Homo-oligomer: A and B are copies of this chain.
């Protein structure tokens, strides 16, 4: 039987952004915490499987027994716009901005450049739902993906898969505007950003 301290540290090292040193601090923190906190944590982790559902429409995770997540269910959201994002956290950022009133679709990641893998992304489900969504009023799919190579590859892949159905139902596919981000100065902008800012001038 392996050492539970090491075993736990190895699991924490798989957490996003956590290296061996911080994983070790997490273990030490739990060792010196009350048994009740450890039980609470273990129970909350187990509960994720039981009481959390993935929304069948937008693929994001939510707690509860409703059939759809709170956004997909909300009749005040605009069904003519669909933002395709990589992660739940991107969806959260767009919600915080207050600038978007449409619906979302969460791919669950981006194409991996190393492996070109994309089976973990739910692109097929999205393509299969286009006809239904067109009936509900969908007019535009906004690819709200990261402005980097992984995001760009993902956009190409998604566009490929969606284009036939979108053409048939007269749905436009757009991407987010690129250019100077708020607070940035030309002097420090990379050539690509300057080029995008010039192309996107208005």
Contacts and interface: CB of A to CB of B under 8 A. Distances in A.
Interface of A: 1, 3-8, 11, 14-17, 22, 24-32, 35, 37-49, 51-52, 61-64, 85-90, 92-94, 96-100, 108-109, 142, 144-148, 151, 174-202
Contacts of A194: 93-94, 97, 99-100
A142 B26 contact: no
Given A29-B15, A48-B38, A63 B201 contact: no
Nearest to A64: B3
B201 A176 contact: yes
A183 B197 CA distance: 14
A27 B60 CA distance: 13
A164 to B, nearest CB: 21
A191 B98 contact: yes
A39 B3 CA distance: 17
Given A11-B40, A45-B41, A178 B176 contact: no
A89 B184 contact: no
B146 A186 contact: yes
A36 B141 CA distance: 35
A171 B86 CA distance: 41
A177 B191 contact: no
A48 B30 contact: yes
A119 to B, nearest CB: 14
A197 B176 contact: yes
Contacts of A46: 38-39, 42
Contacts of A186: 85-86, 90, 93-94, 144-146, 176
Contact of A201 (B49, B109, B174): B174
